[in-house]
Amino acid sequence: MSQKQREAVGNLLRGAPSSPDRSVAEQRAGYEGIFVDRSLGEGVVIRGRTLGGRPAVDIEVAGPRREGKILYLHGGGYVVGSGRTGSHLAAALARRTGIPAVSLDYRLAPENPFPAGVEDGVAAYRELLDSGLRASDIVMAGDSAGGGLAIATMLAARRAGLPLPARAAVFSPFVDLSLAGASIEARAELDPLFTHELLLAYAQHYLAGHDPRDELISPVFADLSGLPPLLIQVGSHEVLLDDAVRLATRAAESEVDVTLEVVAGVPHVFQLYAGRLDEADEALDRAGRFLART
């Protein structure tokens, strides 16, 4: 691990604009701008498509290929982000597993608050099943709000009687929109990206008056029984640390096979800094091995 690498990433994030006073349009443009010139790496082919009635990005990486599909759900607090921004981590996982990925452009708040995102996630998953893929050939992944949405999508699929995917990996999942995690205050000085104020603004956009403890909004309060094996990765320098820890505890209490990885000294969704942060590459390697298990 490199202290200099971690400090450089932390300083980069501290310099990024994150004020909740910016308009939603400004926040979206700023977030997309972070990714517009970022390469997906060599040998990556992306194609636009529709999945579950929503735009999506199909991602294939040159090299040995395995059957199946990674359904990736992007982060952004349910307010910003897109299938294109999610394609970066989706491509990283596709490269490591040999499994083609699809990154979903689910509807965003405040125009489309809960339950729009969950509905889109389930519709996308259902279409993959209807296309002939077996549930055992599908894995799910997501970061931040997309990590929470991945868990909520599986809960909603379980409720609908659908077979569940083989595995799921979530990075820094946002799984408690009641903001009850102690780390939101305890880690505030360490987190270079999020504040309570910013998280609250995202949550209010998505909730639109719904109970934040609804299990499809905040899966940390759900009965997770029957979910597939989970991998949860989180950094110690983030206010959402307790979301990940409490989700892992809830999964264990629900008799779900769960692996929790807390990586010291790194920020929210640190996997995005693969190539400049050793811990990011190592975490993605572990996530790839986890998702590729049969």
Active site residues: 144, 238, 268
Q: CA-based angle 67:165:38, to the nearest 5?
A: 65
For 184-216, what is the HEC assignment? HHHCCCCCCCCCHHHHHHHHHHHHCCCCCCCCC
Q: Are 153 and 125 in contact (CB under 8 A)?
A: yes
CA distances for 92 relative to 59, 115, 118, 210, angstroms: 10, 29, 24, 35
DSSP state, 220? G
27 three-state secondary structure:
helix
Q: Are 74 and 85 in contact (CB under 8 A)?
A: yes
